[in-house]
Amino acid sequence: MMGKAVGLITEYNPFHNGHQYHLQQAKQLTQADTVIAVMSGNFVQRGEPALYDKWQRSAAAVENGVDLVLELPVAFAIQPGPFFAQGAVEILVAAGVSEIVFGAEHAEWDFMALAKAIQQAPDDSQIFQQYDQPYASSYNQMLKERFKIEITSPNDWLGLSYAFALLALGQADQVQLRAIQRQGSAYHAVELHPQQFASATALRQALQNDHLNVEQLALYVPKGTQRLFLEQAPLDWQPVKQWSLLKYIVMTREITELEQIYQLNDGLAQRLQKTVQAYWQLEVLDWDDFMQSFKSKRYTYSRLQRNLLYVLLNITQNEMEFAMQHLYLRPLAFNVQGQAWLKALRKQATLPVIGRVNQENSKTILKLDVRAGRLYEYFQPNHQVSNKDVHQHPFILKGASHEMEFK
């Protein structure tokens, strides 16, 4: 490979000044020649569609300084932290990075040392059989009792998951994990403060509610994202847009059919059908009210939102297992530096490198991503269908200019 690469694990929904800080710190800390980001595709971890599609977001990331953006396949992107981390870390390892840098609320922690200590601790499976609370709560109880720490932020949870993923791959000594202190607003903060880095949540709300003008953009997002905001409208998506589709799927299937959907087990299929039936007559509903009816103490809101996405995508247990066992490297955007790294990578990659979608891979390893792309287009205004996942090629940023072209 050419020089040294640092890896970032991202959603960029959208790429903001906090991400720019993360990128700059990663380059400064590691002195890497190439920055490789693995980025969620059209749907993100909470089970919702991204504000802009993966092609637009990856192009903005490259304009803002990332050298190469690789897609995190939907089979990993819409999963809880451990599986999300597993896919992202394996892609970065296969892409040849020597360090992974991530933001954390407790950057002073040694996440790798903690992961090793947890692995070596005696197993007590009874802790994880408290079915009246989410798994994460049970896990946190174990951490408090045995290691005197409590993990309350998503970024810290992910940091621990990245460490476990490297250990599982046998790469803990080959790839260094570095935490940097997360700056600015909290992860889910909804207020915009000009003196702080804005959270992606606050930016999404401001964009969707038309609360950002051109002058304000520069306060919160770098130039590449400003261009995207000015040239492209964000996806005008509200959770209720999936209601008619969800009603049709759930009420036209037998419980045994619904139970074939990934993770729709342990009574969730019956609970979902019963909840949908209770709201059946409503054309428009209060989504929070619906989710509260569907929710139970055992599952988090995010877990159930992902469950609904699995239903909309009709992902079966077998399909998900196949996809998770067949990872690949799919470039979405790159600059000249990233293109050179990608060229060298093709000769020695341990995972398939997908340059073009063809009839074979669209029906095998890319099957779920093509399906997710079609659903994302269904949520577009007027159901604009272009089947981008099949026809779109990566963006290239040529030279130092901000002019992009298809390749």
Label residue 390 by pLDDT band (50, 70, 90): confident
Label residue 130 by pLDDT band (50, 70, 90): very low
Which residues partner with 334 through β-bridges? Answer: 68, 396
C-alpha torsion sign, points 164, 41, 240, 266: negative
Q: What is the mean pLDDT of residues 218-232?
A: 87
- What distance in Å separates the CA atoms of residue 13 and residue 216, rounded to the nearest whole number? 18
User: What pLDDT is attached to residue 149?
Assistant: 86
DSSP 386: -
User: What pLDDT is attached to residue 153?
Assistant: 87
- What distance in Å separates the CA atoms of residue 145 and residue 405, rounded to the nearest whole number? 55
Q: Which residues belong to the annotated binding site for ATP?
A: 9-22, 103, 155, 182
CB burial readout 364-379, b (16+ within 10 A) else e: ebbbbbbbbbbbbbeb
- The full set of domains in the chain, from first to last, is 5-236+325-406 (3.40.50.620), 239-322 (no CATH)
- Residue 400 φ/ψ, nearest 5 degrees: -100, 0
Q: Where are the alpha helices (DSSP H) in 148-242?
A: 154-169, 200-208, 214-220, 223-231
CB-CB neighbours of 255 under 10 Å: 12
Comparing 147 with 273, which gets the higher pLDDT? 273
- What distance in Å separates the CA atoms of residue 98 and residue 7, rounded to the nearest whole number? 8
Label residue 216 by pLDDT band (50, 70, 90): confident
- Which single residue is written with the structure tokens 């261009």? 227
Are residues 127 and 138 in contact, defined by beta-carbon separation less than 8 angstroms?
yes
Question: Which tokens hold the place of 247?
Answer: 């009603």
User: What pLDDT is attached to residue 197?
Assistant: 76
Q: What is the mean pLDDT of residues 359-368?
A: 94
The length of the chain, given as a count of residues: 407
- What distance in Å separates the CA atoms of residue 158 and residue 165, rounded to the nearest whole number? 10
- Residue 152 φ/ψ, nearest 5 degrees: -120, -10
- What distance in Å separates the CA atoms of residue 312 and residue 376, rounded to the nearest whole number? 11
Label residue 195 by pLDDT band (50, 70, 90): low
Q: Is residue 14 reached through a cis peptide bond, with omega within 30 degrees of 0 on the bond before it?
A: yes
Are residues 243 and 284 in contact, defined by beta-carbon separation less than 8 angstroms?
yes
Average pLDDT of the chain? Answer: 87
Q: Which residues belong to the annotated binding site?
A: 9-22, 103, 155, 182
**Per-residue model confidence as pLDDT tens digits over 157-168:** 999 999 999 999
Q: Is 9 exposed, middle or buried (0-12, 13-18, 19+ CB in 10 A)?
A: buried
